[in-house]
Chain A
Amino acid sequence: MVRFILSKLLYLVPTFLGITLIAFSFVRILPGDPVLLMAGERGVTPERHAELTAQLGYDKNVVLQYFDFLGRLFHGDFGNSLVTKKPVITEFLSLFPATVELGLCAIIIATLIGVPVGVLAAIKRGSWFDQVSMTTALVGFSMPIFWWGLLLIIFFSGILGWTPVSGRISLMYFFPDVTGFMLIDSLLSGQEGAFGSAVSHLILPSVVLATIPLAVIARQTRSAMLEVMGEDYVRTARAKGMPASRVIGIHALRNAMIPVVTTIGLQIGVLMAGAILTETIFSWPGIGKWMIDSISRRDYPVVQSGLLLIAGLVMVVNLLVDLTYGLINPRIRNT
Chain B
Amino acid sequence: MKMLTRILVAASALAMTSAMPALAKTFVYCSEASPEGFDPAPYTAGGTFDASAHPIYNRLTEFKKGTTEVEPGLAESWEVSEDGTQYTFHLRKGVKWQSNEKFTPTRDFNADDVIFSYDRQGNAENPWHQYIPGITYEYYTSMAMPELIKSIEKIDDYTVKFTLNTPEAPFLANIAMPFASIVSKEYADALDAAGTREDLNNLPIGTGPFKFVAYQKDAVIRYAKNPDYWGTAPIIDDLVFAITPDAAVRLQKLKAGECHLMPYPAPADIEGIKADASLKLDEQAGLNVGYLAYNTTMPPFDNPKVRKALNMAINKQAIVDAVFQGAAEPAKNPIPPTMWSYNDAVVDDAYDPEAAKAMLAEAGVTDLSMKIWAMPVQRPYMPNAKRTAELMQEDLSKIGVKVEIVSYEWGEYLAKSMEPGRDGAVILGWTGDNGDPDNFLSVLLSCDSAGEGGANRAFWCNEDFSKLLKDAKITADQAERTKLYEQAQVIFKDQAPWFTIAHSTQYVPMSAKVSGFVMSPLGDFTFETVDIAE
Contacts and interface: CB of A to CB of B under 8 A. Distances in A.
Contacts of A91: 217
Given A85-B135, A171-B28, A46 B452 contact: yes
B44 A282 contact: no
B11 A196 contact: yes
A49 interface: yes
Given A37-B410, A56-B134, A85-B201, A162 B12 contact: yes
Interface stretch (B74-82, B110-118, B251-259, B502-510): B251-259
B446 interface: no
Given A83-B36, A112-B4, A174-B222, A42 B142 contact: yes
A168 interface: yes
A43 B15 contact: no
Contact of A150 (B4, B14, B248, B412): B248
B248 to A, nearest CB: 6
A172 B244 contact: no
Interface in A87-126: 91, 94-95, 112
A286 B216 CA distance: 11
Contact of B219 (A46, A150, A168, A199): A168
Interface stretch (A152-160, A215-223, A235-243, A319-327): A152-160
A30 interface: yes
B1 interface: yes
A95 B7 CA distance: 26
B298 interface: no
A189 interface: no
Interface in B127-175: 132-136, 138, 141-142
Interface residues of B, number: 72
Given A85-B37, A170-B18, A41 B429 contact: yes
Contacts of A83: 36
A171 B242 contact: yes
Contacts of B219: 167-168, 283, 285
A168 to B, nearest CB: 6
A172 B22 contact: yes
Contact of B449 (A43, A80, A161): A43
B363 interface: no
A200 B14 contact: yes
Contacts of B400: none
Given A154-B252, A172-B22, A285-B218, A80 B133 contact: yes
B453 interface: yes
Nearest to B219: A285
A41 B243 contact: no
A32 B375 CA distance: 13
A84 interface: yes
A48 B408 contact: no
A273 interface: no
B239 to A, nearest CB: 11
B44 A30 contact: no
B26 A171 contact: yes
B246 interface: yes
B453 A41 contact: no
Contacts of B413: 32
B134 A85 contact: yes
A166 B249 contact: yes
A224 interface: no
Nearest to B138: A38
Nearest to B412: A31
Given A36-B415, A48-B453, A80-B133, A94 B217 contact: yes
Contacts of A157: 252, 256
A282 B134 contact: no
B454 interface: yes
B135 A161 contact: no
A17 B245 CA distance: 34
Contact of A42 (B36, B133, B408, B455): B455
B472 interface: no
A42 B10 CA distance: 53
B414 A167 contact: no
Residues of A in contact with B, size category: 35 or more
A161 B451 contact: no
B518 interface: no
A40 interface: yes
Contacts of A318: none
Contacts of A196: 10-12, 14-15
A272 interface: no
Contacts of A32: 409-415
Nearest to B452: A46
Contacts of B1: 112
A199 B186 CA distance: 44
Interface string B462-494: 000000000000000000000000000000000
A44 interface: yes
Contact of B246 (A30, A37, A46, A280): A280
Contact of A38 (B44, B243, B412): B44
B282 interface: no
A71 to B, nearest CB: 18
A31 B411 contact: yes
A233 to B, nearest CB: 29
B19 interface: yes
Given A170-B15, A174-B214, A281-B246, A43 B418 contact: yes
A308 B10 CA distance: 40
A164 interface: yes
Contacts of B132: 85
A87 to B, nearest CB: 10
A164 B134 contact: no
B334 to A, nearest CB: 13
A39 B15 contact: no
A163 B408 CA distance: 40
Contacts of A161: 16, 256
Given A42-B455, A166-B252, 12 more contacts: A30-B409, A47-B453, A56-B134, A112-B1, A150-B246, A166-B244, A170-B19, A172-B21, A172-B26, A200-B16, A283-B246, A290-B218
9 contacts: A52-B136, A85-B37, A157-B256, A164-B258, A165-B253, A170-B21, A171-B26, A172-B21, A200-B11
Instruction: Rank and list the top 8 A-B pairs by shortest CB-CB distance, nearest first.
Output: A32-B411, A200-B15, A196-B14, A45-B453, A31-B412, A285-B218, A199-B11, A285-B219
Interface of A: 30-33, 36-49, 52, 55-56, 80, 82-86, 91, 94-95, 112, 150, 153-154, 157-158, 161-168, 170-172, 174, 177, 193, 195-197, 199-201, 203, 280-283, 285-286, 289-290, 293, 298
